[in-house]
Amino acid sequence: MPTPKKKASSKRERIKLGHRPQGPICLALVPMAVGFGEGSEMNAPMARVVIGGMLVSALFTLFFVPTLYGSIRGVGRD
Protein backbone atom coordinates (compact mmCIF):
# COMPACT_ATOMS: atom_id res chain seq x y z
CA MET A 1 0.00 0.00 0.00
CA PRO A 2 1.47 3.37 -1.00
CA THR A 3 2.27 5.86 1.73
CA PRO A 4 0.41 9.21 1.89
CA LYS A 5 3.57 11.00 0.80
CA LYS A 6 3.83 8.87 -2.34
CA LYS A 7 0.13 9.37 -3.05
CA ALA A 8 0.49 13.14 -2.81
CA SER A 9 3.50 13.24 -5.12
CA SER A 10 1.83 11.01 -7.69
CA LYS A 11 -1.31 13.17 -7.54
CA ARG A 12 0.73 16.32 -8.23
CA GLU A 13 2.44 14.59 -11.15
CA ARG A 14 -0.87 13.53 -12.69
CA ILE A 15 -2.26 17.04 -12.32
CA LYS A 16 0.79 18.51 -13.99
CA LEU A 17 0.67 16.10 -16.91
CA GLY A 18 -3.08 16.24 -17.35
CA HIS A 19 -3.64 19.98 -17.15
CA ARG A 20 -0.42 21.43 -18.48
CA PRO A 21 -1.67 21.75 -22.09
CA GLN A 22 -4.90 23.50 -21.12
CA GLY A 23 -3.33 26.80 -20.06
CA PRO A 24 -1.54 27.56 -23.34
CA ILE A 25 -4.58 26.49 -25.36
CA CYS A 26 -6.84 28.87 -23.43
CA LEU A 27 -4.32 31.69 -23.72
CA ALA A 28 -3.91 31.09 -27.44
CA LEU A 29 -7.67 31.38 -27.94
CA VAL A 30 -8.04 34.68 -26.07
CA PRO A 31 -7.30 36.91 -29.11
CA MET A 32 -9.81 34.92 -31.12
CA ALA A 33 -12.40 35.18 -28.32
CA VAL A 34 -11.95 38.95 -28.06
CA GLY A 35 -12.74 39.19 -31.76
CA PHE A 36 -10.48 41.65 -33.54
CA GLY A 37 -10.56 41.95 -37.32
CA GLU A 38 -12.86 41.05 -40.15
CA GLY A 39 -15.01 37.96 -39.80
CA SER A 40 -14.22 37.60 -36.14
CA GLU A 41 -17.89 37.65 -35.19
CA MET A 42 -18.11 34.10 -36.53
CA ASN A 43 -15.12 32.71 -34.63
CA ALA A 44 -15.41 34.55 -31.30
CA PRO A 45 -18.33 32.49 -29.92
CA MET A 46 -16.56 29.25 -30.78
CA ALA A 47 -13.38 30.38 -29.01
CA ARG A 48 -15.36 31.40 -25.92
CA VAL A 49 -17.07 28.01 -25.80
CA VAL A 50 -13.76 26.16 -26.15
CA ILE A 51 -12.14 28.24 -23.38
CA GLY A 52 -15.14 27.74 -21.10
CA GLY A 53 -15.25 24.03 -21.79
CA MET A 54 -11.56 23.58 -21.05
CA LEU A 55 -11.82 25.50 -17.77
CA VAL A 56 -14.95 23.64 -16.65
CA SER A 57 -13.43 20.27 -17.53
CA ALA A 58 -10.26 21.13 -15.59
CA LEU A 59 -12.25 22.12 -12.50
CA PHE A 60 -14.46 19.06 -12.86
CA THR A 61 -11.44 16.79 -13.09
CA LEU A 62 -9.62 18.44 -10.19
CA PHE A 63 -12.49 18.59 -7.68
CA PHE A 64 -15.55 16.53 -8.58
CA VAL A 65 -13.97 13.31 -9.81
CA PRO A 66 -11.66 12.78 -6.79
CA THR A 67 -14.55 13.54 -4.42
CA LEU A 68 -16.83 11.11 -6.19
CA TYR A 69 -14.11 8.46 -6.29
CA GLY A 70 -13.41 8.87 -2.58
CA SER A 71 -17.07 8.58 -1.66
CA ILE A 72 -17.57 5.48 -3.83
CA ARG A 73 -14.41 3.85 -2.55
CA GLY A 74 -15.38 4.59 1.04
CA VAL A 75 -18.76 2.83 0.68
CA GLY A 76 -17.25 -0.64 0.51
CA ARG A 77 -15.04 -0.24 3.57
CA ASP A 78 -17.74 -0.95 6.16
What is the number of domains present in the chain? 1
Single-letter code of the amino acid located at 43: N
Instruction: Determine whether 32 is exposed, middle or buried from the number of CB atoms within 10 Å of its CB (0-12, 13-18, 19+).
Output: middle
Q: How far is CA 26 from the centre of its chain?
A: 11
Single-letter code of the amino acid located at 8: A
In a domain, 8, yes or no: no
Structural domain containing residue 66: 19-75
In a domain, 1, yes or no: no
Give the pLDDT band (50/70/90) at residue 7: low
The pLDDT tens digits of the residues spanning 18-41 come to 667 888 888 888 888 898 878 888
pTM (2 d.p.): 0.66
